Structure 1
Amino acid sequence: MKFTLDETQNNRLLAAIFQELAVIVFDPQKEVVFANANMTDILGYSQEEIIGLPHRTFCFDHYAVSTDYQAFWNQLLYSKQRFQDKIIRKNKQGEKLILEGIYFPVLDEQQEVVNVVKIAFDITQREQALAVTIKKVQESAASLTRLSANGHQQVDHLSENLAQVKRLSDQNQATTHALEMDSQQVTAVLHDIDRIAQQTKLLSFNASIETARIGEQAAGFRVVADEMQKLAEQTKQLTQTIATTMQAINQQALVVLDSTDSTTMKISDSQKSLAAVLHSYDTLRTTASLLNDEAEYLTETNDAELETT
């Protein structure tokens, strides 16, 4: 069912549009022939001041003399096509306005343009807030990047320190193993010395028996036998002392070895944790970079839209 408006409904509709929206009308010479209160409030003019002003009055000079400006009016007046986009204009005080506007030509019976109507929304505050938000996002991204870089550097330094500690630990572990082997060799030598001492003692005992059998004729031989027995006893005592000391050294070496193994395992675990932290920092830096790219893209897109109008 086709919906039609009678004159009263049409007037009410126009009144509602003029009350809620900012509307301005230009003639084919691009001069203002009408502007409602919403539009004059945005532009900073009174309704008496604004009538007859050329459209370029509301544009900055660099745009008013550009080929884009000429193409904009050619599209409306000659191609008779509407124009809708984000646009930059200036108010009476020369302050920048950012508007979301739509222009459309009004045609007569001969399809000639008799007026150009513009309906606009003032989005200046919204765009300014968006610019502030973009700047904060870029600053946050830069801060995250710096944090990631600093953290990465510190973790790298710590990782290198751990690597050096691990190398020293490995050296200590190798030294401890060598000490343990040396201790085992010394223990074996002590066993040989102890065996020789036992044989010397036995030989001294046999010499004493032989001396007793021979009698006074073997007095000098008895002295030698006694000295051999004393030497055997001293050697045995010294061997026991060294053996006890070597056993203690061997036990301490085993403790150090166990501690070194534990330290090596903890260092290895720490390096794995550091690798995970480094991965997190890399992810953080990548996220910051993507965030910054999105902010720059949004800024460039926004600026490009404004530059074309």
Structure 2
Amino acid sequence: MNKLFSRFRIGPRLIFLITVQAIILLAIGFTALAGLTFASRSTDLLNRNVTEGTRLSYLADTIQGELLATVHRVNTGAMIWEEGRLNLAFANQQFEDDWRTYTAALSPDEAEFIEDVLAPGLTGVRSSFVELDRLFRSEDRTNLSLFVINDLDELVQPFLNALLASSSERQLASEQTFAESLKTNNMFLYASLAVIVIGVVLASVIGYLIYRSIVDPIARISDTVHSVAEGDYGVRTGLTGSDEFARLGMALDELLQDKVTTLVEAEEENERLNESVLRLLEAVARLSERDLTVTVPVSADVTGPVADAINQMAEETGRVLTRVSRIASQVGASCATVNKKAEIVNATAQAQQIEVERTASELAGASNALVNIAKVARACNESAQLTTETTRSAMATVNGTVQSMNEIREAIQETGKRIKRLGERSQEITAIVDIINSIAERTHVLALNAGMQAAAAGEAGRGFAVVADEVQRLAESSREATAQIASLVKNIQVDTNDTIVTMDRTISQVVAGSRMAESAGQQMIASQKTTASLVRSVGEIAASSEQQARISNELRQRASSMLLQTQETSKELVEQLTQTKNLVQYARMLVQSVRVFKLPTEARR
């Protein structure tokens, strides 16, 4: 593998290493970004389904909690008509607002589908609002009871059933979306782990190979130089290739070869070359101290090519290490940029985690609200049952009232009969008084005639005249008494007739009251049946609310599971960020390793 890299210069090797690392980081970032994007879409879709289910619940609560409750209270007399009309208008406005809010949040295709599904039931609900408004304005409780018994359920129940079916479909869609999201998130997690492991292994292998391809030639050149310095002129670097170190090694080998051929002449000129050798040794010593700024004076003797080669080596090595330092700095800058991008991705993941936590919190609030609705429905069921018992007791009271009024009517009728018989008796008294009055008038006439006869008789008839006068006064007293008796009898007859008329009117009112009481009993029987139906409906509502509460609790648990998955993804991203920071540290260490050498550019500075 070193032979393969020795075909290339050091710059392309480092560029290849940086390119591999950048590709690995891009693959990791793309995988994480794709996973986060899919998780965001799934969360948005789940949130949308939950929101639509909540709005459907608002529509159902408006119908059940406002419309039906108002109708029930007005029908049972617990609410006056005016208050019922106000509550009905408010329920109608609330229903229309909730419906517009629900349809405005849908796409055109979904809105058209919802209109097709809920249009028949929606028409029935709106018709029930119109008809109930008319009945409330007419204040006709009988027609209202008939409408509640016969028509209200047929108008409202289809829409409630459609709402329940649509809510169930949204719930199934949410569960399917959650399952798909969980599966895809696991897939992205495993893919990210695989890419990270493969990338770290590949980068480590390539970095190690490039490191060996740079260090091994330098070590061989250094060993060769040390061997030559120790007097071993037969040693060679043996480097081949086209990179800088290979050319430097081949140049050093050629230099050593030339030196071996001229070794005899060099020994003869040893004394002359001492100074040059000392300069060379000084330069080599400075080179061994990593000072690549050294420049060996080139002399005309045999040390001239060596000095020139050392200068060339120092220059080439300085140039190469300068490029290595610059490329390492670029690697550090790129790694720092990638580190910033990874921090941004980590921040995005944390924000997504916060959104998932908020969604779980809202699901918990919706679950608590549904539990409260179930409690209220159970309380309504108990109140309706109590109302049924109260209606049954009131019906028994009304039946007793009807029976008492019938007894009063019979007693009044019997009293009327007796008063009529009393009138008939008073008429008999009137007849007797007329007879007495007739007798008194005849007695008065007889007394007048007797007086006249006594006056005609003179003294002999005086006693008889006195008797006749007494009889006349008695007749007049009798006539006055009979007149008074007749007047009293007539007054009694008038009072009796008035009493009879009053009794007849009272009997008619008692009959009318009995009929109204019987009608009230029938209406209370109908109200009892309606209340029993309402009790069953409220029981069904309570059962449905409890089921919705359980479903909402399951959704909250699944959202919590999704939150755990998001937290695991965040942990993996934090681990990735740590690895990126380590890569930045390695790049800095490489720059520091290169900066150990004193380069020509640093000397000029």
Shorter-chain TM-score tier: 0.5 to 0.7
Give the distance between the partners of 1:298 and 1:212, measured in 2 at CA.
114
- 1:3 aligns with none
Give the distance between the partners of 1:176 and 1:210, measured in 2 at CA.
50
Q: How does 1:73-222 map to 2 (within 5 A)?
A: 125=368, 128-129=371-372, 131-222=374-465
Q: How does 1:215-254 map to 2 (within 5 A)?
A: 215-254=458-497
Deviation at 1:154, TM superposition (A): 3.4
Give the distance between the partners of 2:433 and 2:485, measured in 1 at CA.
8
Give the distance between the partners of 1:225 and 1:14, measured in 2 at CA.
138
Q: How does 1:29-48 map to 2 (within 5 A)?
A: none
Unaligned runs of 5+ in 1: 1-9, 23-85, 87-99, 105-120
Give the distance between the partners of 1:226 and 1:21, measured in 2 at CA.
127
Higher relative contact order (CA 8 A, sep 6+): 2
1:87-117 residue CA offsets vs partner (Å, 9 max, x unmatched): xxxxxxxxxxxxx967x9xxxxxxxxxxxxx
Give the distance between the partners of 1:237 and 1:19, measured in 2 at CA.
113
Amino acid at match of 1:168: A
Q: What is the CA RMSD across the aligned residues, in angstroms? A: 4.1
Give the distance between the partners of 1:200 and 1:253, measured in 2 at CA.
33
Deviation at 1:234, TM superposition (A): 1.5
Instruction: Determine helix, strand or coil for the equivalent of 1:196.
Output: helix
1:119-170 residue CA offsets vs partner (Å, 9 max, x unmatched): xx99955763453244123112112213312332333343344334323322
Give the distance between the partners of 1:299 and 1:199, measured in 2 at CA.
97
Deviation at 1:242, TM superposition (A): 0.7
Which of these residues, 268, 290, 294, is aligned with residue 533 of structure 2? 290
Give the distance between the partners of 1:126 and 1:259, measured in 2 at CA.
64
Indicate how the Cα distance of structure 1 residues 247 and 162 shifts in structure 2: closer, same or farther if over 3 A, else same: same
Give yes or no for contact 1:144–1:284 (8 Å, CA) kept in 2: no
Sequence identity percentage: 20
Deviation at 1:21, TM superposition (A): 5.7
Deviation at 1:251, TM superposition (A): 1.8
1:42-100 residue CA offsets vs partner (Å, 9 max, x unmatched): xxxxxxxxxxxxxxxxxxxxxxxxxxxxxxxxxxxxxxxxxxxx9xxxxxxxxxxxxx9
Indicate how the Cα distance of structure 1 residues 196 and 19 shifts in structure 2: closer, same or farther if over 3 A, else same: closer
Q: Does 1:255 align with 2:498?
A: yes
Amino acid at match of 1:128: V
Give the distance between the partners of 1:229 and 1:21, measured in 2 at CA.
123
1:192-251 residue CA offsets vs partner (Å, 9 max, x unmatched): 111111111112222222223333344443344233222211211110111111122222
Amino acid at match of 1:180: G
Give yes or no for contact 2:455–2:462 (8 Å, CA) kept in 1: no
Deviation at 1:299, TM superposition (A): 6.3
Q: How does 1:257-276 map to 2 (within 5 A)?
A: 257-276=500-519
| Higher CA-based Rg | 2
Amino acid at match of 1:154: T
Give yes or no for contact 1:137–1:291 (8 Å, CA) kept in 2: no
Amino acid at match of 1:136: A
Indicate how the Cα distance of structure 1 residues 221 and 130 shifts in structure 2: closer, same or farther if over 3 A, else same: same
Looking at secondary structure, tell me which structure has more strand per residue: 1
Normalising by structure 1, we get a TM-score of 0.54
Indicate how the Cα distance of structure 1 residues 132 and 301 shifts in structure 2: closer, same or farther if over 3 A, else same: closer
Indicate how the Cα distance of structure 1 residues 291 and 129 shifts in structure 2: closer, same or farther if over 3 A, else same: same
Indicate how the Cα distance of structure 1 residues 19 and 247 shifts in structure 2: closer, same or farther if over 3 A, else same: closer
Give yes or no for contact 2:388–2:532 (8 Å, CA) kept in 1: yes
Deviation at 1:296, TM superposition (A): 4.2
How many residues are matched? 212
Deviation at 1:190, TM superposition (A): 0.8
Indicate how the Cα distance of structure 1 residues 191 and 19 shifts in structure 2: closer, same or farther if over 3 A, else same: closer
Amino acid at match of 2:374: A
Q: Does 1:281 align with 2:524?
A: yes
Amino acid at match of 2:386: S
Point out the more displaced range, 183-192 or 212-221. 212-221
Give yes or no for contact 2:375–2:542 (8 Å, CA) kept in 1: no
Indicate how the Cα distance of structure 1 residues 209 and 14 shifts in structure 2: closer, same or farther if over 3 A, else same: same
Indicate how the Cα distance of structure 1 residues 235 and 20 shifts in structure 2: closer, same or farther if over 3 A, else same: same
Deviation at 1:273, TM superposition (A): 2.6
Give yes or no for contact 2:388–2:528 (8 Å, CA) kept in 1: yes
Indicate how the Cα distance of structure 1 residues 303 and 125 shifts in structure 2: closer, same or farther if over 3 A, else same: closer
Instruction: Determine helix, strand or coil for the equivalent of 1:254.
Output: helix
Instruction: Determine helix, strand or coil for the equivalent of 1:215.
Output: helix
Give the distance between the partners of 1:158 and 1:278, measured in 2 at CA.
10
Give the distance between the partners of 1:19 and 1:265, measured in 2 at CA.
74
Unaligned runs of 5+ in 2: 1-33, 48-167, 169-173, 180-362, 551-605
Instruction: Determine helix, strand or coil for the equivalent of 2:452.
Output: helix
- 1:93 aligns with none
